[in-house]
Every structure is written in structure tokens, then in C-alpha cells.
Amino acid sequence: MRCISLRFLFFLICSPGNAQPAIREYIQNNKVTIRTIDPADTVFDDLETIGKAIGEKRVVLMGEQDHGDAPAFLAKTRIIKYLHERKGFNVIAFESDFFALNEGQKEITDASTLKKFILDNIFQIWTHCDACSDLFYSYLPARRVAGNPLIITGFDNQPHSGYSKRIYRKYLDSILTNSRYPVKDFENRKAQLLRWADTLVSGYGKKYSPSLFYENMNAFLQTLIEYHRLQYENDFNYYLLLSLKTYAEKSHTQGINSLNIRDIQMAANLDWLVNVKYRNQKIVVWAHNYHIMDKSWDAMGHNEGRHYSMGNEFLKNKKNRDQTYVLGFDSKQGKAGRLGVKKHFRVKKPEDGSIENWFGADKFSFIDFTEYNRSVSNPEYFRMKGIYHMANSLAQWTRCFDGIFYIRDMYPCKGLY
């Protein structure tokens, strides 16, 4: 067990009546300044505190407040280099196309095809961002040439990529043909499903087909999924079929329930990656704070909506919880926005009782909540912009994230293309 820091031990001893430690004082006494977020700086001494917090855990979920946060992407790139070179992490799972980033890996033969594969199959909010260029177009190809590659994979049930547009229908046809499903009028229904799936992939982001047709296809898919599970257990194709079904369900559902469908399926896909495909590997997960956070319903409270995040679902499994560290990102001020959205916006000012005010003058800081959570029975509520830059929410945030990487000044990506 990791030793409690001397500052925190002093704080516990000096607290009147050994009362539950206050979260504000804990953060102010235990935060660690990070020297830089420059990915070119490979003197990792300032990141060792993050490494110690992670310990022997083999999964690190890393978030971001918005999908255009350039400083967060720089920081994540530097942390990934540290985790790869010092702690043996060799897989990066992105919030991107589950089908393409797994089945499509066979198209990667060298550094050049790796760059093309990344650009074609990971969301452009990252691949077209200047702050991600070091990771995607320099570090990852160089690691492959050096013979110490970082494997790219993904867990998003949305088949949005160039590879999916080219291959998805053909691959789905091969599954249905080779598995010989005992379903009445199978060939006709298979042809309908293939046309429908092709429309889903090519029309990413749209609502598809009349409700009655959707219901028929949904029922057909469910039959295939149940049969496939019995015959082949938890192979890749089982999760592919589940992803197709839930992607279609998401497009026919409104509001937060639509988001929940996606997050729950992403959790299932991630679980398969962690415990089946890469069960002997160390994995970094790249996604939004909204997706990676634990206790998204319990900790946020009823006023924030019943959000069943990917992290919340993935970490319900004790094995996953024991082997995972959840690292959220937070910022205080500046501007934000993502590629593809012309208008940038000013980051919301922290309110009284907000964590962003407790980091003082630090440009970059890290705080690990592990010892705090061990020492309290009921963690304090405090305010943090832990979901979005504009949502300064009151929550038991130490239940949502194991640690926070703090960035004082936020600014958006610039486009590479």
C-alpha cells in the first residue's frame, strides 16, 4: 500500500478531533506542480507523481472537458510517452470506431500506412488538431520503426470511419453468411439488414428509416446476437453485432437516454478489449471526461440527469475497478471550442467553492484523490467543471475521478488541414 504523504499525515494529526479532512485543504496541501505539458520534453521527473498514483494498475482512463482542448491534448501526449517508456503501457484505445480500429489494423504495414490509418479512422477532432500532431504523426510512427509500437484500437460503437465506409457491409455479409443462422427467411432478411447497415454507416449522424422497418431490423439483430453469443461466446463479431444494434437504437432515442445507450455499449466494448483481446497488456484510454467518469449518477446527484457513463458501467466490475485509474482534466479560464465548430467560447468562470480556485498560481498541477477517499466515509461535495467547460457542477467529484490534471489556461486546437 502506498504511504500517505507527510503533508497529508500532518493534516490528519492536526485536525480537531480527527474530523474528516476538508477537501479544499487536502488539495492545497497535496497538489503537485507539473513543470510542462510540452510533448517534446521527455525529462519525466515531474510526472513521477502521476506514475506513483497509478501504481501497478494496467488501465488508465484519460479524459478532456471538450474535444478541442489543445493543452489537454499536449498534456495527454506527454503522459502517454511517459506511461509507454517508463511503465510499459503499449495500447491506446480511442473514443473512435470499434470496427475499424480493430478489424482494420491489418492495413497497417509500416509507419506510412499507420499515419494513413490514423487519419482515416480516428475522429478528425483529434487527427486534424495541431496539438495531436506530435502523437499521431511523429511519436506513434517512430515507435513502430523502433520496434516498440503503441497499438491503436477503439471502442466507440459508431462506425464513422473511412475503413467502415469501405469494408463494413462486406465484413457483415461474411459474418452472416459463414455463421449459418437458423432463422426463417434468412436470405431475404439478411439482404435487408445489409442495405440498412450500409445506410447507417454512410449516413453517420442521421436518423434512419421508418420506425416499423427499424423495429423489424432491431428484432432480427437481437435474434442474431443471441444465437451468436451461444455459439461463439464473446468474440469480436458478437460485440460488432451489439454495436450495430445499439448504434441504431441511439439514432432512434432522444435526450440523455440516447447518450446512455452509446456509453453502455462503449463500456462493453472496452471491457472486451481490456479483458479479452489485450488482457495481458497495459492500456491507455483516450476519451471525454463525460465518458470516463465513475459514479456518474450517484456522485452527480439527481439534478444533473441520469447519466450512465462508460466509466460508470465499466467500473461496476470489481476486477476492472481494481485495475483502473481514472484521470480527469480540468481548467480554470481561457477559450474553448472544437474543430468543425466555427465559434469559440469563453470558459466559464469558477464559482465560490470550486476546485479551480484551490490550485493557486499553478499553470499545471496534479492531485491524486486516493488517500482522501480512503480516509473519508462520505466525500465532500464541491464545484468543478468536470463535465464541460460551462457546467460548474456541485458533486462528490472524488468519487468520479481518481485524480485530476489541472490546466490553468485553456485554448482551442488549430486545424492541420
pLDDT digits (tens, 9 = 90+) for 158-174: 999 999 999 999 999 99
- Residue 121's SS3 state is helix
* Segments forming the whole domain that contains residue 39: 6-150+283-410
Residues 6 or more apart whose Cβ sits within 8 Å of residue 365: 31, 32, 33, 34, 359, 405, 406
By the 10 Å C-beta count (0-12 exposed, 13-18 middle, 19+ buried), 291 is classed as buried
Whole-angstrom Cα distance, residue 283 to residue 126?
A: 19
Q: How remote is the C-alpha of 56 from its chain's centroid?
A: 20
User: Are 295 and 363 part of one and the same domain?
Assistant: yes
Q: State the total domains in the chain.
A: 2
Q: Which set of grid coordinates corresponds to residue 317?
A: 466490475
Q: Are 238 and 369 part of one and the same domain?
A: no
- In angstroms, the CA 251 to CA 301 distance is 27
191 and 228 fall within a common domain: yes
Q: Which domain CATH number covers 23? A: 3.40.1660.10
Name the E strands within 309-413: 324-336, 345-346, 364-368, 382-384, 393-395, 403-410
Q: Report yes or no on 273 lying in a domain.
A: no
Helix (H, G, I), strand (E, B) or coil at 97: strand
What is the predicted pLDDT for the residue at 342? 84
Which residue ranges in the chain fall short of pLDDT 50? 1-18
pLDDT recorded at residue 182? 83
Q: What is the pLDDT of residues 249-274, one digit of tens each?
A: 888 888 888 889 999 999 999 999 99
Q: Within 10 A of 226 (CB to CB), how many other CB atoms are there?
A: 11
**pTM assigned to the model:** 0.92
The answer to whether position 266 is within a domain reads no
Closest CA to 118 of 90, 150, 82: 150
65 close to 287: Cβ distance less than 8 angstroms = no
Quick check: is 256 in a domain? no
Q: Is 259 contained in some domain?
A: no
